[in-house]
Structure 1
């Protein structure tokens, strides 16, 4: 199986989520371990309770099982929390695990965004749990390690503290009337970074707010074929 990747270029709810986890939802500097389940083998125990308690990935060859919103992953890889051109946010969620192809893509995109688009670096949000599966809160997708959230906020020049990673807020890119981007914060750099992600052959689609898609269509120059990968979706404005 050749992995096809979905890159969610926001930190918001992915596809459909009953209780979305947003970029503005703060994490915990000292997260508490979940209590053991009284009856983990009970077939009525929700899958999300089981998957949330799996701390390491499984020691198996990498295999995607199921679909984006109903599945899991064996042999996931952890995204390092720091790189020269990236930093991982909201560490308390323990959702920086994914398919090795996706992890490699994120590292490659971080370098390309910095080198070709002049971007300071990317902030990586939710990828998936160590063994994928449904999460206790937030995304309905992100279950098989093939989609990732990228903040539209440029990476600060300094190494973020644990407290900053948990409490720093992402920047809203859309005007209050929701009809267009906020020109004070949405720049040509954003267009270049999203284009760089779309030009990756393994990226299948990128979800952004409709106002952001409108701005991309207005500002893109030259070959515009990459815009077909960028899909407007509710939320996805951070």
Structure 2
């Protein structure tokens, strides 16, 4: 899902051959790198070994020049007339995005959204292991969601420590989101994805991304309205 309102910062690229830190990758390029990785993984599944920049750009919905510029941030330039080796480029982008690390995700909120996220099978294939789900409702605590058992949010810090969770997803009402976010950060988790319909405040050094589906729908409505108006294009 696309985050419209976030505190995302540029991320480091891959160090050069001498071990020197790479330049920061701009956030917009990071977002597009995820598209390239998805396209490359599809090609891998189809048994494709090499791909041209034009074909990869088309599959990702960007221009060839944008693709080449983005890939230059991770030190991959391809070979003229040959293109990119799909498996190598996939590994290279995954490393730049941090997907070679062990990411353990905890979900706070076992409502409809939280349960749907916990049951989503696509996280594991992309390097994310959902290790815990929490709720405050005692009628929900102890129930099974997929292979997980819902933990009491009162035990948040203990379970985060026990499971080694290093990412947290907040699927919470606005009224309680900030308090839970504060506890998550205090417990040492510095990567937070929030679906709560409220602006959260986090300390410097904490990566917070906010997914606002209502805002996304409003933007879609704007473009749909323009597309329907005489003489207008989306």
TM-score of the aligned structures, taking structure 1 as reference length: 0.31
Higher helix fraction (1 or 2):
2
Higher relative contact order (CA 8 A, sep 6+): 1
TM-score of the aligned structures, taking structure 2 as reference length: 0.32
